[in-house]
Amino acid sequence: GAVVSQHPSWVICKSGTSVKIECRSLDFQATTMFWYRQFPKQSLMLMATSNEGSKATYEQGVEKDKFLINHASLTLSTLTVTSAHPEDSSFYICSAKLAGANQETQYFGPGTRLLVL
Amino acid sequence: GNSVTQMEGPVTLSEEAFLTINCTYTATGYPSLFWYVQYPGEGLQLLLKATKADDKGSNKGFEATYRKETTSFHLEKGSVQVSDSAVYFCALLSSGGYNKLIFGAGTRLAVHP
């Protein structure tokens, strides 16, 4: 089956630094990738949708200048949390979708847990 | 707006016990409903789905019925196994223009021998 990897799986950083999370589709080309965030005991929330070669579309309330998304190839998308603060500590999950596939047919990465001190 | 509410976990069961994980939703129109499962160290996987009222989705012994009258999509399994230990997410996809998955918070299931 289709596999999506994320790196790193865990990251701890100091407040004010930037953190980059990679999302890779290992055995298929993903025209669309999604980034989600989950705070403890809360729902998994969509942050943004990115199509290869285009600017990402951010959900309402998500700061595009703080969460930089790059989808430069069909197998790689990156999320950079700029000037991270403790309130950005969360679980970040990416997913990928093939062109023409149903919206529910997303292949999810295992997630990255970010802790900002 | 659209939302999904799941029972809070963790749910701890003995092997062969009956499982129910409650899920209710709020949505306009006629959404499609899904259950995803996340095994330890892996990404979420689509477990089952139902696209209209009274549909029953099933897979790997799990079942869920789309109940429009109660806006529910409870997940059930008659006899759980240790290998079913995972986090289960209920989700909906709106039938309107907002074509994005809306997830619940997830329910962790731990099954002991």
Q: Which residues of B touch A26 (CB under 8 A)?
A: none
From the list B1, B48, B50, the residue with the least C-alpha distance to B29 is B1
Report, as an integer, the average pLDDT of B51-57: 95
Report, as an integer, the average pLDDT of B4-13: 94
Chain B residue with minimum CA distance to A4: B43
Is the pLDDT at B97 greater than 70, yes or no? no
Q: How confident is the model at residue A114 (pLDDT cuts 50, 70, 90)?
A: very high
Give the other-Cβ count within 10 Å of A80's Cβ: 15
pLDDT digits (tens, 9 = 90+) for A32-80: 999 999 988 888 899 999 988 888 999 999 999 999 999 888 899 999 9
Residue A75 or A100, more confident:
A75
Q: Is B98 near chain A, with CB under 8 Å?
A: no
The residue with tokens 């009222």 is B53
The residue with tokens 């999604």 is A34
Report, as an integer, the average pLDDT of A2-22: 95
Q: How confident is the model at residue B59 (pLDDT cuts 50, 70, 90)?
A: very high
Q: Which residues of B touch A4 (CB under 8 A)?
A: 43
Q: How confident is the model at residue A102 (pLDDT cuts 50, 70, 90)?
A: confident
User: Which one of A25, A44, A94, A103 would you mutate to disrupt binding with B, by most B Cβ within 10 Å of its Cβ?
Assistant: A44
Residue A91 or B29, more confident:
A91
Is the pLDDT at B96 greater than 70, yes or no? no
Q: B102 is written with which tokens?
A: 């809306």
At residue B51, what are phi and psi to the nearest 5 degrees? -105, -10
Residue A56, judged by CB atoms within 10 A of its CB (0-12, 13-18, 19+), counts as: buried
Q: Chain A: nearest CA to B101, how far in angstroms?
A: 7
Q: A23 is written with which tokens?
A: 């999302």
Report, as an integer, the average pLDDT of B56-65: 97
